[in-house]
Structure 1
Amino acid sequence: MATSEKLLEAFHLFDQANAKDPNVETYNKKIYPKELLYAMRMTDVLDEFAPNASEALKLAARCQHICRWEIPRSNYEANRAGYLKWRQELKKFHVKKASIILGQVGYAQDVIDKVEFLLLKKQLKKSKETQTLEDIICLVFLNHYFEPFKQKHPEDKVVDIIQKTWRKMSLEGQKAALELSFSENAKELITKAIADGEE
């Protein structure tokens, strides 16, 4: 699918916003603002997993975490209810940020509405595009963030997160996940989690 000028401009503005992230991550000996690197990874994985993705899906993937640091987890209670409230507020926040930028670029309201639909994860498991976005989120987590995550948490929590991640994915997403490169320990945990989850 051809890349439009609007898409490139939207990506540029999304990236400008995410470049302000005070949190950083080192990757391949280069320091990146954390959410800028995340956005780039989302686009890279989407391009590989679904090369014919619609423009709305490409936009949603790129702005999935836009300015996420502005609403820190620590602002909410340290329990599941607090976590769920934080996640819901984040979705609305990302939609608002993205919609303003998409409007500035000149996207029609139907495209903005579609990006909002995807960012809010509407009709997961029913909408192919919402499911594809969820698959990309899970693949990016497994490929780039799972190894550091498992080093910080006890095994039972790691197994639980793998199982929850696995349940969110389509069969195509799960197949792609099994083709990722993991350490031997990570492979063992993932295999155990999947097997236990299917019992």
Structure 2
Amino acid sequence: MTKSQFQNTSDWIDAKNAQDPNIEIYQSKRYPKELLYSNRMYQRLMSFYPEASEEVQIASKAQHICRWEVARESFPMDRVGYLKWREDLKKFHANTTAIILKKAGYSEEFIARVSFLIEKKLLKKDTETQLLEDVICLVFLEYYLDPFVHKHDREKLKNIILKTWNKMSEKGHQEALKINFSTTNFQLIKEALGL
């Protein structure tokens, strides 16, 4: 595939995510929340596995594309509602990305593969789905664990960390332990994992 195809796709995903009305402040700068997440995903993928296929690269950038358009509040506020919201989001992200990929001129097979990855099909069985899941977990642990620490009690946090850890590969685990965690958060992780 030509670079311009990938570059166009990347720019269009960024343009969509730049419309996020939710703002996150990082290092004293303001970012649309999902644009920042998308950039973090792509950067982490390329540092963790630089030889990742173009399909995985696009799936990493589009993992949360336009997420704010499918509000959590539009589903029942219970466990079943949460799971339904998550499933619907995966399809929404895959469909939104597929429209961009068609516009960029990618083949049906390529588009189907990116959708497969965004929907996280065959986790633990498909190596690229697993790679994407590793990157999602690494980005969560590096950037999004800390806000959780201020919202939840210790037992719930340990449970969240353990669930995240169990989704990852051994290579993902090794990479996670290289993250520069705060002393408090690293202690929490060690407790959760029984290290």
Offset at 1:141? 0.4
Helix, strand or coil: the match of 2:24? strand
Task: Tell whether 2:71 aligns with 1:72.
Answer: yes
Match of 2:190 in 1: 191
TM superposition outliers: structure 1 runs of 4+ over 4 Å: none
Which residue is 1:174 aligned to? 173
Deviations 1:119-176 (A, max 9, x none): 1111100111000000000000000010111111111111110000000000000110
1:84 aligns with 2:83: yes
In structure 1, what is the equivalent of residue 42 of structure 2?
Answer: 43
Match of 2:140 in 1: 141
Q: How do residues 94-109 of structure 1 correspond to structure 2 at under 5 angstroms? A: 94-109=93-108
C-alpha separation in 2, matches of 1:89 and 1:166: 24
Please report the TM-score for the alignment, with normalisation by the length of structure 1. 0.96
Question: Cα gap change, 1:106/1:3 in structure 2, threshold over 3 Å: closer, same or farther?
Answer: closer
TM-score (norm 2): 0.97
CA distance in 1, matches of 2:2, 2:194: 41
Instruction: Provide the alpha-carbon RMSD of the alignment.
Output: 1.2
Name the aligned partner's letter for residue 41 of structure 2: M
CA–CA separation in structure 2 for the residues paired with 1:121 and 1:147: 25
Deviation at 1:78, TM superposition (A): 1.7
Superposition deviation, residue 3 in structure 1: 7.6
Percent of residue pairs identical: 48
Cα distance in 1, alignment partners of residues 7 and 30 from structure 2: 23
CA distance in 1, matches of 2:77, 2:178: 35
Aligned to 2:124: 125
Q: Deviations over 1:80-109 (max 9, x none)?
A: 111100000001100110000000011111
Per-residue deviation at 1:15?
0.5
3-state SS of paired residue (1:51): coil
Deviations 1:47-69 (A, max 9, x none): 00010000000000000000000
Structure 1 counterpart SS, 2:31: strand
Q: Which runs of 5+ in 1 are unaligned?
A: none
Q: Does 1:155 align with 2:154?
A: yes
- 2:180 and 2:121 map into 1 onto residues whose CA distance is 31
1:45 corresponds to which letter in structure 2?
A: R
